[in-house]
Structure 1
Amino acid sequence: MLFKDRITAAFNDENARRRAAGLARLKKTDLWKAAGVTSGAVTHWFNGSNDADMAICMKIAPLLGVRGQWLFDESGPKHETADDGGNEDHAPIRLVDAKASAGKGQLVFSDDASKVLMFRRDWLAKNDAKPETTLAFEVDGNSMVDLHIIDGSVVLANRKKTEPVSKRVYVVWIDGKLYVKQLVKKDGMWWARSHNAAEADDYPDILIQDLDDRVVGRAFWCGFGL
């Protein structure tokens, strides 16, 4: 199989997987940004005029869901089975573009390849999460600081866990925007609760109607820079 056949097959397979998972499609723009090359270089890969070198393959393979070595020369398994010195033991998690998602009722993922976050597959599995159903979301604001979810931090949410559990933290739609909130059930109703004791008056509980349509996923990790 020629390089152009391998990259085309991987590209099409990855987009088929994303469609099935309800995720935004992978674009060739994502590949040339991740590789640090021109759009023309990617065109040459797909039409067979030129092949990518090993270093480039290692950069773009995580986006394509294949092993870098296989993409380069078709040696070894197509999909990761062990760490061979590249990123095959890590999975790419795309960051949601919260502003672009606002008002749409559906998630819009960032087109910036630099906003793909890498996490160990075995760590995700231990948290009962799969790469294709995990999203990353950047927090805007201080409403959850008492739970150590600070402005500018990133949370991971499991899109397969949308059944609400009281006092657990979720990414939810509220008035067409995405938020990270604790869900609390009281008097038979569901409320989104903030946690900022110092500014409690600014963040009252929010009654949520039709909760089933508003839960994006349960948050299970938060990280931030120091």
Structure 2
Amino acid sequence: MKKYKCGPRFKALLKEVKITPSEFATFCNVEPQHINNWYIRGVPYPRVEEIARLLSVNSQWLINGEGPKHPVIGQAPEQPDKPLDTQESREHYHVCVDSPDIELPLYKELPKALGSSDTHIVKIPDEAVRLPRHYLESLEVDPIHAICVPMVGDSMSEKIQDGSTLAIDRSLTHIIDGQIYALQHDGMLRIKYLHRLHDGALRLRSHNSSGYPDEIFSAEQIKKQNIGVLGWVFWWCTLNKQRPPVPFA
């Protein structure tokens, strides 16, 4: 996978034009800490064109240091590259030109074959979930690493209802105790609170703990049962399942 690192170039540009992180943050309507994070992680991909335009540089140069640094007078505006290709289920996202939204690919757990009980998690063609760009930016989630999945079952109710749509940051697989993660468990999609235990063991906890007791897997069981962390769940949306009946007047 090609590494996306423009932080050092971005930092050097602000220094070159004598703009402080706080001043640039105010100009871009973000927190100063975001600018400092961009120094390390790079400018979020959806904002590269905007930032490059503000600093009068070519976006491709800002992204990867390739090509001319500054636009040539009379040059047509650059067309951004296709979103960076990524491994596994880290797929392309789409920035909606006329809105501040980003479309993220949708994945579901489906049978491997018709009538089979074995499942796997696959991308659903031509289906996407649209989220406001500022949601992702406020949590420093790079859209390149974000996907959406449905919640199946009531193990996380009342917090996350069956049928809810969830968004996952695939880049955050390091387990922070008590956070909600999406797991792949021998082909099954599972949403759980995770807790690390001694010797590489893992505790899976449901929000609906009365109906779903804790599960503990040793390091050996994790390997044998193909348990892997897909990513951190950073957003979910739930519709009320039933409209209340309105009495006759």
Same fold? TM cut 0.5: yes
TM-score interval, normalised by the smaller of the two chains = 0.5 to 0.7
Residue equivalent to 2:217: 207
Residue equivalent to 2:239: 225
- CA deviation string 1:10-32 (max 9, x = no partner): 8xx53xx3533544777xxxxxx
Q: SS at 2:168's partner residue?
A: strand
Residue equivalent to 1:54: none
Structure 2 stretches lacking a partner, 5+ long? 1-78, 113-117, 241-249
Residue equivalent to 1:109: 123
Q: SS at 2:110's partner residue?
A: helix
Q: CA deviation at 1:166?
A: 1.2
Residue equivalent to 2:153: 141
- CA deviation string 1:87-146 (max 9, x = no partner): 2x2111111122158645xx52111x3x31111212211111122211111001001114
Structure 1 stretches lacking a partner, 5+ long? 1-8, 27-61, 68-85
| 8 Å CA contact 2:182, 2:189 repeated in 1 | yes
Q: CA deviation at 1:219?
A: 0.5
Once superposed, what is the RMSD of the aligned Cα atoms? 3.0
- CA deviation string 1:57-88 (max 9, x = no partner): xxxxx84x473xxxxxxxxxxxxxxxxxx22x
Q: SS at 1:110's partner residue?
A: strand
Residue equivalent to 1:181: 192
Q: CA deviation at 1:178?
A: 1.1
CA 1:97–1:18 in structure 2 vs 1: closer, same or farther (change >3 Å)? Answer: farther
| 8 Å CA contact 1:173, 1:216 repeated in 2 | yes
Q: Within 5 Å, which residues of 2 pair with 1:65-104?
A: 65=95, 67=97, 86-87=98-99, 89-99=100-110, 103-104=119-120
Residue equivalent to 2:171: 160
| 8 Å CA contact 1:21, 1:133 repeated in 2 | no
Task: Write the letter of the residue equivalent to 2:130.
Answer: M
Task: Write the letter of the residue equivalent to 2:152.
Answer: D
Q: SS at 1:164's partner residue?
A: coil
Residue equivalent to 1:119: 131
CA 1:133–1:25 in structure 2 vs 1: closer, same or farther (change >3 Å)? Answer: closer
Larger radius of gyration: 2
Which consecutive segments of 4 or more residues in structure 1 shift more than 6 A? none
- CA deviation string 1:176-207 (max 9, x = no partner): 2111111112344212111214424xx44141
Residue equivalent to 1:52: none
Residue equivalent to 2:30: none
Task: Calculate the TM-score normalised by the size of structure 2.
Answer: 0.52
Structure with the bigger RCO (C-alpha within 8 Å, sep 6+) is 1
Residue equivalent to 2:162: 151
Indicate the structure with greater helix content.
1
| 8 Å CA contact 1:144, 1:181 repeated in 2 | yes
Question: 1-side partners of 2:133 and 2:87: how far apart?
Answer: 17
Task: Calculate the TM-score normalised by the size of structure 1.
Answer: 0.57
Q: SS at 2:147's partner residue?
A: strand
